[in-house]
Amino acid sequence: MGSHVVHFEVTGKDGPALQRFYSEAFGWKLDTNNPGGYGMVRGNEQPITGGIGAAAEGAPGGVTFYVHTEDAKATLEKIEKLGGKVLMPLTQVAPETTIALFADPEGHVVGLM
């Protein structure tokens, strides 16, 4: 199977307000039982996971989707050759979960997982 979207993220200045908005708008049950209260959308009825919370200090927030690839390092090298820019190198964020962020040639931020 080729690369596919596995996760989305919505961040902004007021994480709890965004969590309430998306939870009420779409009926999502969010698990915020983690450091920082990051709201995870997951479960059997969800084909992909998602996260909703506060943006990093000083960051504007936004919407990002994450793509699973078989070889993230090679994919990042290809992205750079195609005019993209690595914003965050491969970083382990949880056991067995490594992510990276890149910008496409127009500056849209996309994640790899």
* pLDDT tens column, 89-101: 999 988 888 999 9
CA angle 105/110/113 to nearest 5° reads: 135
- Domain containing 84: what range? 69-113
Please report, for the domain that includes residue 75, its CATH number.
3.10.180.10
> What's the pLDDT band for 1 if we cut at 50, 70, 90?
low
In a domain, 3, yes or no: no
In a domain, 4, yes or no: no
| 86 and 46 share one domain | no
Domains of the chain: total? 2
> In this structure, are 48 and 79 located in the same domain?
no
74 lies in the same domain as 40: no
2 belongs to a structural domain: no
Q: What is the pTM of this model?
A: 0.80
5 located within any domain: no
Do residue 14 and residue 44 come from a single domain?
A: yes
pLDDT tens by residue, 9-49: 999 999 999 999 999 988 889 999 988 899 999 876 778 89
The answer to whether residue 40 is domain-embedded is yes
The number of angstroms, rounded, from the C-alpha of 109 to the middle of its chain's C-alpha atoms is 10
Range 33-48 burial, b when 16+ CB lie within 10 A, else e: eeeeebbbbeeeeeee
Is residue 86 in some structural domain? yes
